[in-house]
Amino acid sequence: MRALADRLDLPLYRLQSVASFYPHFFLKPPARVEARVCGDMSCHRYGANTLRQALELKFLGQDVNIQHVSCLGRCDLAPAIAINDRIFEQVTEASATSLIQARLTGQPVSLENVPHARPGVVKCDPYPEDARYGVLQRYVESRDWTGLIAKLKESGLRGLGGAGFPTGMKWEIVRGQTDPDKFVVCNADESEPGTIKDRFIMTHAPHLVIEGMILCGLVVGARHGIFYIRHEYTQQEHIIAEEIRRCYRERLLGSGILGSDLTFHLEVFVSPGGYICGEESALLEAIEGKRAEPRNKPPFPGQQGLWQNPTVINNVETFFFVPVILDRGTEWLKAQGRDGSVGVKFVGISGDVQRPGVYEVPMGTPYRELIEQYAGGVAPGRALKSFAPSGPAGGYLPASMLDLPLDWNAMTKAGATVGSGAIVVCDDRACMLDMALNSVRFFRNESCGKCVPCRTGSQKLVDMLTAWTKGQAASGDMALFEELSHALRLTSICGLGQVVPVPIASVLKHFAEEVQSHVRDHVCPAGVCALTSPGLVAAAPLRARHD
């Protein structure tokens, strides 16, 4: 680090602050084998935490470091484990043991029996393979940026990473900025448990994502774009990089695009790790070589983004749909939805289903159909207990709400969200208090620690939920929960801190009796939690306040 600081002419403390922040960096020589077991949501449902504990005992005293890691982005192939940064899917204790032993002894690791995701087809891709980038070619000829933005606005396309900000409006804001330097950034850092759709899109339709970024750059007046991708997506990184190289060869990127006077350059930036990098301003800080800590807003990236220049940041799926909509038209888009909903959505379905994976579905499709027909439902003889419509940030809904449609307005009205479309299913073997703790612990682990409410509040909530799973509750717990939730929502710098209470709030609302069984009756109905001591019965029943 000292040598690097000298070479870059930077103070050592700055390198130390960055290196100590990201999980992908080591501050001391690692063990011969670094095995990191994902233990979030879907992997948790497939016994990953039990697997990690078994491996810790098996390799005790050896040059092996086994620890928990936050979501590896393989929720449809759970459980997943990273061994020396190489990710293996659907592992068992036996296969994980063999992989670790092979690394210890320096033997080659065979991938013959390691399953991979099923091949996928993107149905709404408008192009035959030999005639891609048609929308870009037409735009270079017309330069009709006002018409392009108007069509995006008419389509209603919004940010599909979960925030839902109107895409046409975002582009128009950046177009209107007078700064000479502007940037376009694709956020491919999907790191929230259950979120796997962008991995699928990058694998099977990289050309549409890249075309969306180029169009964005030309429309808003940016000359440089950055494709920000999480480091666990090595395969997708190579796919995107190869597509970018092809675009340069065919003069779709660079100076003089398609023989015109237009310029747009694009490069890949691999994230050094951390869920917080999915927050747009934290992502910009990471690109700038800093700790990925969210910025205070305003100003927003559209006015002051990368290097303080106006910046468009959109999700992979959002950029994907730009050329699709511009080629097929808004009437086509409206016709794809069901029962008044508009468009198509990619959803990732994982957890306790028989066919986990990514599905391209009409908006308006009921969650019951998504789970039972597309994903095959839960195992025979089991009953569906709950589903999270948008990973841990969306909370848990009971089976009685399965007939809600995949629709922004309908879900908002029901007090839920479509979010990123990360649907995680739990069958009747799941304990919902245990699942809430798993989700809140994820947020605690991934808090950047910059703001006190998130750093401290998330830990307090983990402590409280841990006590509840042991059958212990204090009389003031609900008042404390409401106070913490209020503080987190109002004073956290970014969305991570604001959603920390959501999983437990949803469980208290929809599965109150299950929580009561733990703290009042000292019983886990699902037989998941190890209640080892008599519960301290609260002065009043634990119920969420609904106002």
Q: Look up the pTM and report it.
A: 0.93
Q: Is 337 inside a domain boundary?
A: no
CB burial of residue 19 (10 Å; 0-12, 13-18, 19+): middle
Token pair of 156 as six digits: 């209603």
Q: Are residues 209 and 245 in the same domain?
A: yes
What is the domain extent for residue 81?
A: 2-105
- The tens digit of pLDDT for each residue in 220-229 reads 999 999 999 9
DSSP notation for 68-82? EES--S-GGG-S-EE
Among 300, 328, 356, give the residue marking a domain's end: 328
Say if residue 209's pLDDT is above 80: yes
Q: Is 338 inside a domain boundary?
A: no
Task: Report whether 170 contacts 363 (CB < 8 A).
Answer: no
Side by side, which strands form the sheet with 384-392?
357-362, 344-351, 422-427, 384-392, 397-398
Q: Are residues 403 and 474 in the same domain?
A: no
CB burial of residue 7 (10 Å; 0-12, 13-18, 19+): exposed
Q: Are residues 272 and 147 in the same domain?
A: yes
Q: Are residues 14 and 73 in the same domain?
A: yes
Segment 148-170 shows an average pLDDT of 90
- Tokens 């209470």, residue located: 501
* Residue 379 CB neighbour total at 10 angstroms: 12
Q: Is 528 inside a domain boundary?
A: no
For residue 541, what pLDDT is reported?
Answer: 46
For residue 394, what pLDDT is reported?
Answer: 93
> Which CATH number characterizes residue 361's domain?
3.10.20.600
Segment 364-388 shows an average pLDDT of 98
**Bridging pattern class, strands 254-255 and 357-362:** unpaired
For residue 160, what pLDDT is reported?
Answer: 86
First-to-final CA distance of the chain: 53
- Tokens 């340069």, residue located: 248
Among 88, 105, 122, give the residue marking a domain's end: 105
Q: Is 204 inside a domain boundary?
A: yes
Q: Are residues 58 and 185 in the same domain?
A: no
* Residue 178 CB neighbour total at 10 angstroms: 6
Task: Report whether 349 contacts 425 (CB < 8 A).
Answer: yes
Segment 145-162 shows an average pLDDT of 92
> Which CATH number characterizes residue 33's domain?
3.40.30.10
Tell me the residue type at 376. Answer: G
For residue 113, what pLDDT is reported?
Answer: 45
Segment 320-330 shows an average pLDDT of 97
Contacts of 288 (CB under 8 A, 6+ apart): 306, 307
For residue 119, what pLDDT is reported?
Answer: 58
Q: Are residues 254 and 324 in the same domain?
A: yes
Q: Are residues 486 and 464 in the same domain?
A: yes
Give, in order, the Cα–Cα distances in Å from 515 to each of 398, 433, 508, 521: 14, 6, 7, 10
Q: Is 539 inside a domain boundary?
A: no
Contacts of 545 (CB under 8 A, 6+ apart): 478, 482
Q: Is 333 inside a domain boundary?
A: no
Say if residue 537's pLDDT is above 60: no
For residue 411, what pLDDT is reported?
Answer: 94
Segment 430-440 shows an average pLDDT of 97
Side by side, which strands form the sheet with 64-69?
64-69, 33-38, 81-83, 86-88
Say if residue 118's pLDDT is above 70: no
Side by side, which strands form the sheet with 263-270?
254-255, 263-270, 224-229, 183-188, 311-315
Say if residue 355's pLDDT is above 80: yes
Q: Are residues 244 and 181 in the same domain?
A: yes
Q: Are residues 422 and 436 in the same domain?
A: no
Q: Is 408 inside a domain boundary?
A: yes
Q: Are residues 265 and 388 in the same domain?
A: no
Q: Are residues 66 and 90 in the same domain?
A: yes
Among 280, 296, 328, give the residue marking a domain's end: 328
- Percent over 70 (pLDDT), the chain: 95
* pLDDT band of 120, cuts 50, 70, 90: confident
- The tens digit of pLDDT for each residue in 35-62 reads 999 999 999 999 999 999 999 999 999 9
* Residue 534 CB neighbour total at 10 angstroms: 9
Q: Is 205 inside a domain boundary?
A: yes
Sign, Cα dihedral of 312, 183, 308, 238: positive
What is the overall mean pLDDT for the chain? 93
Report the domain count for the chain: 4
Q: Are residues 220 and 74 in the same domain?
A: no
> Which CATH number characterizes residue 456's domain?
1.20.1440.230
- Tokens 């609260």, residue located: 538
- Tell me how far apart the alpha carbons of residues 539 and 98 are, in angstroms, rounded to a whole number: 51
